[in-house]
């Protein structure tokens, strides 16, 4: 089952303490909830960072069988990689989340919406005047999926056991710079968290540290902006304290991602760093108490 709740956060000075007050009843009707998820889940959380070249695509399946795709890389190559982590007969994805409207994040989502039946789409108000952004908007409209505009403090229940907390953006992103508008989420199952950052820059990371403090702690961190030096602030890395740090980037990309200073920073911190450019699809499994890499 998938449910949306909204929380209002208040910070108290520099202590990073916040009070959560629930405001909203379930976002979906009971009929919709009953139709989501599938019975193919093996009882573990699966988080797969897909090798889509120079871009982001993250496939999640919860222990309750709810499927979430965060971004889709730059092109139709995402279909090939998704087919490796979903049953060949499965043509439904419960939720698609587009972190921001850059081609390397939503280009492949155009093809996903053309191939799969998607129930819900999560995005922000931020738009681009590019052809791929227009194509995504058209496919979103044609899909007939329910669209939800993400706001910080919203908590999405992906079945009975897994939650997705939206940490950013905190307001209407219509006039924001694209990367700054990225949806940042923390995926939580039991005692295990994944911090998924889109292309959020240093300024957003520093805001998150001030706002959420130690609640950012996560076992796995998807490095912002493909490992660019425009992301992964020291303060953010220290607060998240990841055991694993994942770079989603293309081999020999023209941007030089990931930047060496980011690699050095992560290694010096003691995290294991992995890169889809060299490791291919990177798949984590969790039982809620431990997280491990699938062989």
- Tokens 């609640």, located at residue: 215
**How far, rounded to the nearest angstrom, does the alpha carbon of residue 214 sit from its chain's CA centroid?**
19
Please enumerate in sequence order all residues whose Cβ is within 8 A of that of 295, keeping only pairs 6 or more positions apart, or say none: none
pLDDT tens track for 97-117: 999 999 999 999 999 999 999
Q: Give the per-residue pLDDT at 284.
A: 98
Q: How many CB atoms lie within 10 A of CB 157?
A: 21
pLDDT tens track for 69-88: 999 999 999 999 999 999 99
pLDDT tens track for 243-286: 999 999 999 999 999 999 999 999 999 999 999 999 999 999 99
How buried is residue 64: exposed, middle or buried, by Cβ count under 10 Å (0-12/13-18/19+)?
A: buried
Going by C-alpha positions, the residue among 71, 60, 149 that lies closest to residue 109 is 71
Angstrom distance (rounded) from CA 184 to CA 23: 21
Angstrom distance (rounded) from CA 209 to CA 225: 18
Residues 200 and 224 sit within 8 Å (Cβ to Cβ):
yes
Residues 38 and 280 sit within 8 Å (Cβ to Cβ):
no
Angstrom distance (rounded) from CA 230 to CA 233: 8
Please enumerate in sequence order all residues whose Cβ is within 8 A of that of 61, keeping only pairs 6 or more positions apart, or say none: 41, 45, 46, 67, 68, 85
Residues 165 and 149 sit within 8 Å (Cβ to Cβ):
no
Rounded to two decimals, what is the model's pTM?
Answer: 0.89
């Amino acid at each position: 089952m998938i449910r949306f709740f909204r929380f209002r956060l208040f910070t108290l000075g520099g202590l990073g303490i916040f009070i959560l007050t629930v405001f909203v009843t379930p976002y979906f009707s009971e009929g919709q909830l009953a139709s989501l998820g599938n019975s193919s889940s093996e009882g573990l959380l699966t988080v797969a960072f897909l090798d889509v070249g120079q871009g982001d695509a993250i496939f999640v399946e919860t222990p309750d069988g709810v499927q979430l795709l965060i971004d889709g890389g730059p092109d139709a190559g995402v279909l090939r990689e998704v087919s490796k982590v979903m049953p060949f007969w499965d043509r439904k994805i419960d939720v698609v989340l587009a972190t921001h409207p850059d081609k390397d994040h939503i280009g492949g989502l155009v093809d996903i919406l053309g191939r799969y039946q998607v129930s819900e789409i999560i995005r922000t108000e931020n738009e681009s005047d590019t052809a791929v952004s227009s194509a995504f908007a058209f496919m979103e409209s044609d899909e007939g999926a329910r669209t939800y505009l993400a706001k910080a403090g919203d908590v999405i229940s992906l079945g009975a056991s897994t939650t997705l907390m939206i940490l950013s953006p905190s307001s209407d992103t219509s006039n924001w710079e694209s990367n700054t508008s990225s949806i940042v989420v923390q995926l939580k199952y039991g005692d295990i968290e994944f911090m998924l950052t889109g292309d959020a820059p240093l300024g957003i990371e520093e805001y998150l540290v001030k706002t959420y403090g130690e609640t950012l702690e996560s076992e796995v961190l998807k490095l912002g902006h493909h490992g660019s030096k425009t992301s992964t602030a020291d303060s953010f890395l220290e607060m998240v304290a990841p055991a694993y740090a994942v770079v989603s980037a293309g081999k020999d990309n023209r941007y030089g991602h990931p930047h060496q200073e980011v690699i050095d920073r992560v290694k010096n911190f003691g995290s294991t760093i992995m890169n889809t450019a060299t490791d291919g699809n990177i798949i984590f499994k969790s039982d809620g108490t431990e997280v491990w890499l699938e062989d």
